[in-house]
Structure 1
Amino acid sequence: MTDAPLTPSRSWREIFAVWGVALVGAILVAVFAPHDLRFTWLAIALAACTLLTFVLQLLTHQKVGFIDRLSISVVGVLGILTLAAAIIGFSTLFEG
């Protein structure tokens, strides 16, 4: 009989992967999205990263710590996309 670990090891690889996808998505939105639809595309990127977070965390098959891993991933994505939205917002102020 095997003993289950008492403390879950967070799966940082999946968390960093989702954060990387969010960063790439923010860069793509800033470069390629039309000016009037940039914030719409950032919201779509947030939704896609949230779904990706659920998929990757469910694929780990670890029940213990699921909420913690999910929260860390989504809060990180939200922070990255919020920073991207602020940069895009300030850049539109100074475009002319």
Structure 2
Amino acid sequence: MTDVPMTPSRIWRSIFGVWGVAVLGAILVAIFAPPGLHFTWLSLTLAACTLLAFVLQLGTHQKVGFIDRLSVTIVGVVGILTVAAAVLGLAALFAG
């Protein structure tokens, strides 16, 4: 592990990358998943994004700020998927 701090752009790139995967996953779930399985696939998207966040943050070999970076990443993913779940739930409610 290195003790040289990461640049802010590298920190945010790793965080925004996982958030982008969450948005892409939510869009793919909305398009391709059967209506009864939207929440199941959103849960799997959350699991995949969590694993990706761990891989990216551990891959930096930077122990300083690891918990902060991982927390921000996962909270953002949960927020994105919560909005997606709300939209899909409302769509299902009004569809019939």
How does the TM-score come out when normalised to structure 1?
A: 0.90
5+ long unaligned stretches in structure 1: none
5+ long unaligned stretches in structure 2: none
In structure 2, how many angstroms separate the alpha carbons of the residues matched to 1:81 and 1:9? 28
In structure 2, how many angstroms separate the alpha carbons of the residues matched to 1:17 and 1:50? 12
In structure 1, how many angstroms separate the alpha carbons of the residues matched to 2:72 and 2:6? 14
How does the TM-score come out when normalised to structure 2?
A: 0.90
Query: Once the 2 structures are TM-superposed, how far is the Cα of residue 94 of structure 1 from its aligned partner?
Result: 0.8
Is 1:40 aligned to residue 60 of structure 2? no
SS of 2:62's partner is: coil
RMSD, aligned CA: 1.3
Q: Percent identity?
A: 66
**Equivalent residue number for residue 49 of structure 2:** 49
* Greater radius of gyration (CA): 1
Moved over 6 A (4+): none
Say how many residue pairs are matched: 92
Query: Once the 2 structures are TM-superposed, how far is the Cα of residue 34 of structure 1 from its aligned partner?
Result: 0.5
